[in-house]
A and B are shown apart, each in its own frame.
With several copies, the nearest count.
Chain A
Amino acid sequence: MASKPMHLVQNARRGPYATLTLRGEVIPSHPGQFYMLRGDWGLSPLLGRPISILGEEAARSEVRFLVKAVGEGSRILHALEPGDVVHATGPLGSGFPLSGWDPQSPVILLAGGVGVPPMVYLASRLSESGAGIIFCQGARTKEDLLLLDELEEMGVTPHLATDDGSAGHKGVVTELLARELEYQPGAVFACGPEAMLRSAARLCKGKAPCYVSLEAAMGCGYGVCLSCVTQVTKEGRTANQRICKEGPVFDAEALPWL
């Protein structure tokens, strides 16, 4: 990892969503890793914001992110213009495990809300390695479905769910997961709202390995402040682990949820 200024070269906005392309020194990353991003925004907010990597063009020294404007920090990121400087620290965290499950059955990627970007990055890596991918994406409404064109480009046809039924299945995305698991249980990778992750963990229990990407308010993002911990149980011992360092991806079985 490194901490350095990068330059915004493109900002493609759609509603509250902005796909940012930053150029600078790029250290190769794994899907599920993230950066702490901080614009030249003075005193407030004080801290950078954790944003997952959406994609990486190492050859062009570019890394891409998708940011949803929700609060002070993300709104400033959303409003950035080409040429603006962003201080980027990363890549951070552990990322999704890219092996260690049954290579015969397809993996199921579950994405909700702004949990979509890291899953798209994961899908692109997996599809390069030739793995079978089932991609389930949930959103409140059609307009909040993300990155459908990128998925299409890599030949992945997502199963969609919206709360209002404006696209795909009317209901929550974990209903799609339940169906898939009955059909052919494969390893599950999930990123999205905590309720979605919990429900995915419950569905997978005893059936399929399930890796979830957690969120936390982060002080540093690189493991020194201990603000982002969650309890993790390994070999019968429960201890705090840092979401920014040992995570953000955890084996759902190890979390104090089930």
Chain B
Amino acid sequence: MALNLGVRVGNLQLKNPVMLASGCCGYALEMEEFFDLSLLGGYCLKGLCEGGSEGNPPPRLCETPGGLINSIGLQNIGIEAFLKEKAPKLRKAGSVMVANFYGHSVDEYAAAAERLQAEPCIAALEMNISCPNVKTGGIAFGTDPKLVHEVTAACRKATAKPLWVKLTPNVTDITETAKAAEDAGADALSCINTYPAMAIDVERRAFKINTRSGGLSGPAIKPLAVRAVYLVSKAVKIPVVGIGGISTWADAVEFMLAGASAVQVGTALFSNPLAPLEILEGMREYCARHGVEEISTLTGAAKDFERPSCNLPSRTK
């Protein structure tokens, strides 16, 4: 039985649903030391802005139960430097490159989108309106449906490339920001960015992260992210890319069943750079075991519990 791992995210065809999440694979060149990027569905670059940024002062990272908090503050070399220094090397990588970007105003967002539009090796743009770690830009745009609409519309005008909007989960009702982005012309929604979080070192009685708050990622947030993907995919017609705590093939399948067309692996890369390949292999086996011929049929296929009287879960072999 032939298995088709290919998925479509709007107009963009991916050879398989497994991508690398922004900020967790640098500019992807570091990943090439571990494996061939073209084995994956694609990868998202570290969030770029015009002129670049030095990010936040350290400490920028700490561990929490089943997760980690980061406050990198979107350090990046800038769009210009990226296009000059990194892009030429990445052209050969032969995988789908998605450029994650941000600005500090609607105009900056649009200008960044326009600047990236020019680079042929960029397959899609992922608009980050959800970073909890920068004072202006980032999450400020992502929590208000009106602003989401405005900034998405501005970027939509600025680029003909597929435009993905990366949502923040830090809202009362994520379907409202999702619909705003859809209405304004987004081609897909990346669900989700990190959750605002905090940790305190009790011996020092000091915040563990320099900026006090940071963004929580990793397995701990998976059940929150699965719900976000489920709600958003029911609320909009455009495809959803699932992100949040994916570290095993079963996690990836879970996000697809919840409604994701493709998935991104972030934090799991830190402890296991080969996680994306292991996830892909596991998904392949899962499909074979379940007689799935088109992996895309998993999207949104979760059903209700068949026997409400039965209290027991099935076992994952």
Contacts and interface: CB of A to CB of B under 8 A. Distances in A.
Are A and B in direct contact (Cβ within 8 Å)? yes
Given A217-B313, A224-B25, A228-B311, 14 more contacts: A46-B218, A47-B63, A47-B270, A70-B315, A194-B312, A216-B58, A217-B62, A219-B70, A220-B270, A223-B30, A226-B46, A226-B60, A227-B70, A228-B58
Given A2-B34, A217-B312, A225 B274 contact: no
B63 A222 contact: no
Interface string A31-49: 0000010100001111110
Interface in B35-86: 46, 54-55, 58-63, 65-68, 70, 72, 75
Nearest to B307: A194
B272 A87 contact: yes
A230 B31 CA distance: 22
A38 B247 CA distance: 15
Nearest to A238: B54
B196 interface: no
Q: 10 tightest A-B contacts by CB?
A: A227-B61, A224-B26, A216-B311, A220-B270, A223-B30, A3-B273, A227-B60, A226-B72, A219-B270, A43-B66
A230 B70 CA distance: 16
Interface string A134-145: 000000000000
Given A46-B67, A215-B312, A3 B272 contact: yes
B63 A45 contact: yes
Contacts of A216: 58, 311-312
A65 to B, nearest CB: 18
Contact of A227 (B31, B66, B72, B219): B72
Interface of A is mostly: loop
A219 B61 contact: yes
Contacts of A220: 24, 269-270, 273
A22 interface: no
Interface of B: 23-26, 30-31, 33-34, 46, 54-55, 58-63, 65-68, 70, 72, 75, 218-219, 267, 269-274, 309-313, 315-316
Contacts of A245: 30
Contact of A225 (B23, B34, B58, B59): B23
A43 B75 contact: no
A36 B55 CA distance: 24
A1 B311 CA distance: 25
B31 A44 contact: no
A190 B93 CA distance: 39
A185 B273 CA distance: 43
B65 to A, nearest CB: 6
A47 B68 contact: yes
Contacts of B274: 3
A224 B311 contact: no
Contact of B75 (A46, A240, A243): A240
B63 A240 contact: no
A45 B62 CA distance: 11
Nearest to A48: B271
A221 B33 CA distance: 13
